[in-house]
């Protein structure tokens, strides 16, 4: 257990640890952008589907 704590503490002092942390931060930012884009796309598709359904409903 102590060895694991020491390895975690060494992440800030080693170049490999910093690289790993940087990759995790970049991955998190990419995930946030992807989630935002997916949400925006879903909203736009939902709006267009509602418009189409409304148009179809008024055609008699």
Structure-model confidence comparison of residues 34 and 7, the more confident one:
34
CB 32 within 8 A of CB 40: no
Place of tokens 């935002």: 36
Confidence of residue 57 (pLDDT cuts 50, 70, 90): confident
- 22 burial via Cβ count (<10 Å: 0-12, 13-18, 19+): exposed
When pLDDT is averaged across residues 24-28 and rounded to a whole number, the result is 95
pTM of the model: 0.55
């Amino acid at each position: 257990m102590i060895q694991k704590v020491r390895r975690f503490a060494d992440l800030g002092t080693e170049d490999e640890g910093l690289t790993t942390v940087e990759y995790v931060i970049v991955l998190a930012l990419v995930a946030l952008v992807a989630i935002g884009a997916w949400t925006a796309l879903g909203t736009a598709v939902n709006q267009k589907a509602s418009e189409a359904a409304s148009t179809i409903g008024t055609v008699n």
